[in-house]
């Protein structure tokens, strides 16, 4: 009885809506508990980051100017696609050392978190904007605007949930991003890229790299055309370097190293607010006659 030979998957990175290999040609092996090689993972280089940034910047004005409702629909679609591929993600998590029960929990929380942020796309503005009752005869309003391109170093300990937790609030707000996946558990990152690719998400809105933070954190934080850096890990030296490099072009830096990703504390509209700028506009209100018009 001949057993069927499986086609083994090649894990590439995700840039600009496409799946290229790292331009450096480097890789690192991902081994299971027994020491067998499960896959060769791309060891992304700074040039990959550069290319990803170009894609992210190119996609940002389009993504940021879409109707909030449209973004909500796309994020919901991502959740639909995730739900459809639940089994695949569970088995990848198990391959990387998780129990079946924990894997199921992680995948379900990821899907629900995606739906959570889909719901915020067209609501956070109502909470975060204001009409300001200035003392002069002006209509004065403040609205959030996406900060632009965000470089993210996602949680190291989880393969899927950390990624979703990092990406969803950033893109819900109209930003685009380049994300560095977990180094020790990168499999779900690439599969998640496939989910994104089939969800009507425009190419370049999310770009996913696999590799090493110790090498890449320098470039993530020094690029002059990146507007913000988000960091979910615990390496004090990396945090310091990131903050120093950010000063080169006054990047906004957010370090979320004290959050338990598995709990509901890891999801809130405040993660959306962090990557928003506030724009305040003034416009005169004519006063005809004696009474003063005003808001």
| Of positions 120, 220, 231, 271, contacts another protein by CB under 8 A | 120
Q: Which residues pair with 146 in a beta bridge?
A: 276
Give Cα 24 to chain centroid, integer Å: 24
| Of positions 29, 32, 47, 69, contacts another protein by CB under 8 A | 69
Is residue 282 a contact residue for another protein (CB under 8 A)? no
Select 125 or 235, whichever has its Cβ closest to another protein.
Answer: 125
Select 89 or 116, whichever has its Cβ closest to another protein.
Answer: 116
**Rounded to the nearest whole angstrom, what is the least distance from the CB of residue 176 to another protein in the complex?**
22
| Of positions 5, 135, 236, 286, contacts another protein by CB under 8 A | 286
Is residue 274 a contact residue for another protein (CB under 8 A)? no
| Of positions 38, 54, 68, 255, contacts another protein by CB under 8 A | 68
**Rounded to the nearest whole angstrom, what is the least distance from the CB of residue 105 to another protein in the complex?**
14
In the β-sheet with 149-153, what is the strand arrangement from edge to edge? 206-209, 176-180, 149-153, 228-231, 252-255
**Rounded to the nearest whole angstrom, what is the least distance from the CB of residue 73 to another protein in the complex?**
7
Is residue 104 a contact residue for another protein (CB under 8 A)? no
Is residue 278 a contact residue for another protein (CB under 8 A)? no
By DSSP bridging, strand 276-284 and strand 37-42 are: unpaired
Stretch that binds another protein, among 210-218, 219-227, 242-250, 281-289 (CB under 8 A): 281-289
| Of positions 40, 66, 122, 255, contacts another protein by CB under 8 A | 122
**Rounded to the nearest whole angstrom, what is the least distance from the CB of residue 201 to another protein in the complex?**
18
Is residue 101 packed enough to be buried (19+ CB in 10 Å), middle (13-18) or exposed (0-12)? exposed
Is residue 19 a contact residue for another protein (CB under 8 A)? no
By DSSP bridging, strand 27-31 and strand 138-146 are: unpaired
| Of positions 118, 159, 221, 222, contacts another protein by CB under 8 A | 118
- Count of residues interacting with another protein (CB under 8 A): 28
**Rounded to the nearest whole angstrom, what is the least distance from the CB of residue 148 to another protein in the complex?**
24
The closest of 146, 217, 149, 228 to 180, measured between CA atoms, is 217
Stretch that binds another protein, among 65-73, 157-165, 177-185, 247-255 (CB under 8 A): 65-73
The site for another protein (CB under 8 A) is made up of: 68-69, 72-73, 76, 112, 115-116, 118-123, 126-127, 139, 269, 283-289, 293-295
């Amino acid at each position: 009885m001949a057993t069927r030979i499986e086609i083994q998957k090649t894990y590439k990175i995700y840039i600009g809506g496409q799946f290229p290999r790292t331009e450096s040609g480097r890789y690192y092996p991902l081994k299971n508990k027994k020491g067998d090689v499960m896959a060769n993972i791309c060891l992304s280089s700074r040039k990959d980051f550069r290319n990803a940034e170009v894609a992210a910047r190119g996609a940002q004005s389009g993504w940021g100017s879409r109707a909030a409702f449209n973004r909500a629909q796309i994020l919901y679609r991502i959740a639909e696609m995730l739900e459809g591929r639940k089994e695949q993600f569970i088995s990848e998590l198990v391959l990387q050392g998780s129990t079946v029960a924990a894997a199921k929990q992680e995948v379900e929380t990821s899907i629900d978190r995606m739906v959570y942020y889909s719901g915020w796309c067209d609501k956070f503005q109502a909470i975060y904007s204001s009409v300001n009752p200035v003392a002069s005869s002006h209509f004065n309003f403040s609205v959030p605007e996406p900060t632009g391109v965000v470089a993210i170093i996602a949680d190291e300990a989880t393969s899927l949930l950390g990624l979703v937790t990092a990406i969803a609030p950033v893109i819900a707000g109209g930003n685009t991003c380049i994300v560095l996946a977990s180094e020790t558990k990168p499999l779900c990152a690439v599969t998640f890229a496939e989910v994104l690719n089939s969800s009507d998400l425009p190419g370049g809105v999310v770009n996913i790299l696999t590799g090493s933070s110790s090498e890449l954190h320098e470039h993530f934080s020094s690029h002059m055309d990146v507007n913000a850096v988000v960091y979910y890990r615990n390496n004090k030296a990396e945090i310091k370097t990131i903050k120093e490099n950010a000063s080169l072009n006054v990047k906004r830096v957010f370090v979320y190293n004290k959050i338990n990703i598995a709990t509901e504390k890891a999801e809130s509209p405040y993660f959306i607010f962090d990557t928003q700028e506030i724009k305040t506009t003034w416009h005169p209100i004519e006063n005809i006659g004696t009474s003063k018009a005003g808001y």
